[in-house]
Copies of this chain bind each other. A is one copy, B any other.
């Protein structure tokens, strides 16, 4: 029975349905889903908050093809990422692959069009032939929402605007307390140099350190020694650096940086020093922009992708899912990363070596944000339309009159509907309005039409009032304004 329930749940989540014997299974491709009207309504709310923010900061938007020439994506995502790229079949002509993220297409766009400066956002779906875990929100087709600033500018000013935007979006989404972790690639490189790790170990060591938000240091240390080839001493020393924030939780951002600079080998490392100076400058700009106290310098942050060249940052909502059970909402519990980014100065140059276009940006984990908002709103009725008025009639043979009146409302910009029946029952029409939470019903009848009035019914209070046709536009506008 439990198995049956689990299967039923799996079916629901994966959108399987209507398996027909002898014919094909009616389902979405593995790892993909339909967004029904309720999911779309939530998606639109989240996307509106984001686009409003990006536009408030003067950003433009672009769209690129959903697939790229295979060569454009080749070698941009490391060995593991490369395996996850969807290829199109060779049907004669060019070899194509589905986009894996929005960053590489952006770099291709800048290089191809010789664009030297741009502040752009891009909200679209990307494709990864990953093992999907849809109960945990991991899909093969999912939305990304990227904001990037390309161009040669003075140090740390664009980064500060990226952090400001993260701060504005996350506070507008009202998802509770969040932390924006901040680190610098040069600080990481400096630490690794000091412990005697060599350059070839950098990526793999970063990947291990990056697990510190999910795993305790002991486990990471073991991995560093057994799998990454660090000596026990080097690993232990690295722990005192990357866990500096965890070991000194009461130090503020400036003090963390200052005390790490008290360690002679770190202070003597040019890269580490430059990283610290840049982060300090960024912190003063964050203060000027009024970025909330959410920003937290944390030397353990080591984001996966290896194209970052400067500051890196990541927003987490540690308690975002407090009280929400994994099974209930299908989102990952405890893994609260909802946005991240950093500076990547080399990417455009991979397409056009002569054109050096430094970039920094932030990518929002918008699927996770959808899931969080969905979980938060689970108890409320989510409207999927914004209809304000249903035009109804109690008597027969009034279809043409309903049509004329609803057209009048449309011409006033009022969102309105009729039911598609010649002679619908009054009860069915009122039920239609209640089920869809349409706030008002306009009821016409033969006598009312002769008298030049209509009945306006408030769906919630069920109060009905007569309104003269000549006053209708004004009355409706008032009622709608009050009801919002």
Q: Contact residues of A with B, CB < 8 Å?
A: 15, 17-18, 20, 24-30, 32-37, 40-41, 43-44, 55-69, 71-72, 86-91, 93-94, 96, 98, 108-109, 111-114, 120, 125, 129, 141, 149, 151, 153-154, 157-158, 160-161, 164, 168, 284-285, 288-290, 351-352, 384-387, 399-401, 403-404, 406-407, 410-411, 413-418, 420-422, 436
- Tell whether, in the assembled complex, residue B154 and residue A417 are in contact, meaning their CB atoms are under 8 Å apart: no
- Tell whether, in the assembled complex, residue A111 and residue B18 are in contact, meaning their CB atoms are under 8 Å apart: yes
- Tell whether, in the assembled complex, residue B60 and residue A420 are in contact, meaning their CB atoms are under 8 Å apart: no
Question: Which 10 pairs across A and B sit closest by C-beta, in order of nearness?
Answer: A153-B420, A288-B403, A37-B60, A32-B65, A24-B71, A58-B417, A35-B63, A58-B387, A87-B89, A288-B400
CB neighbours of A384 from chain B (8 A): 60
Q: A420: which of B40, B55, B154 is its contact (CB, 8 Å)?
A: B154
CB distance from A466 to the nearest CB of B (A): 23
29 pairs of residues in contact across A and B, judged by CB atoms under 8 Å: A15-B112, A18-B351, A20-B352, A28-B65, A29-B67, A30-B94, A32-B65, A32-B67, A34-B112, A36-B62, A37-B60, A37-B61, A37-B62, A43-B63, A55-B386, A56-B410, A56-B414, A57-B410, A58-B436, A65-B141, A66-B125, A67-B141, A87-B89, A87-B91, A88-B89, A289-B403, A289-B404, A289-B406, A290-B411
- Tell whether, in the assembled complex, residue B385 and residue A60 are in contact, meaning their CB atoms are under 8 Å apart: yes
- Tell whether, in the assembled complex, residue B27 and residue A69 are in contact, meaning their CB atoms are under 8 Å apart: yes
CB neighbours of A289 from chain B (8 A): 403-404, 406-407
- Tell whether, in the assembled complex, residue A141 and residue B66 are in contact, meaning their CB atoms are under 8 Å apart: yes
Given contacts A34-B109, A68-B29, A94-B29, contact A385 B55 (CB under 8 A): yes
A333-B49 Cα distance, complex, nearest whole Å:
40
Q: A88: which of B40, B86, B168, B407 is its contact (CB, 8 Å)?
A: B86
Interface of chain A: mostly helix, strand, loop or mixed? mixed
CB neighbours of A61 from chain B (8 A): 37, 40, 44
- Tell whether, in the assembled complex, residue A114 and residue B56 are in contact, meaning their CB atoms are under 8 Å apart: no
Q: A403: which of B62, B160, B413, B421 is its contact (CB, 8 Å)?
A: B160
Nearest residue, chain B, Cβ from A387: B58
CB distance from A83 to the nearest CB of B (A): 9
A153-B418 Cα distance, complex, nearest whole Å:
12
CB distance from A250 to the nearest CB of B (A): 27
Q: A415: which of B34, B55, B91, B410 is its contact (CB, 8 Å)?
A: B55
- Tell whether, in the assembled complex, residue B157 and residue A420 are in contact, meaning their CB atoms are under 8 Å apart: yes
Given A40-B62, A160-B403: 8 more A-B contacts, CB < 8 Å: A15-B113, A18-B112, A29-B96, A35-B64, A37-B60, A55-B415, A158-B420, A289-B406
Q: A56: which of B30, B59, B413 is its contact (CB, 8 Å)?
A: B413
CB neighbours of A164 from chain B (8 A): 407, 410
A81-B419 Cα distance, complex, nearest whole Å:
36
CB neighbours of A416 from chain B (8 A): 56-58
- Tell whether, in the assembled complex, residue B352 and residue A26 are in contact, meaning their CB atoms are under 8 Å apart: yes
- Tell whether, in the assembled complex, residue B157 and residue A421 are in contact, meaning their CB atoms are under 8 Å apart: yes
Given contacts A26-B352, A290-B407, A422-B154, contact A113 B60 (CB under 8 A): no
A250-B201 Cα distance, complex, nearest whole Å:
83
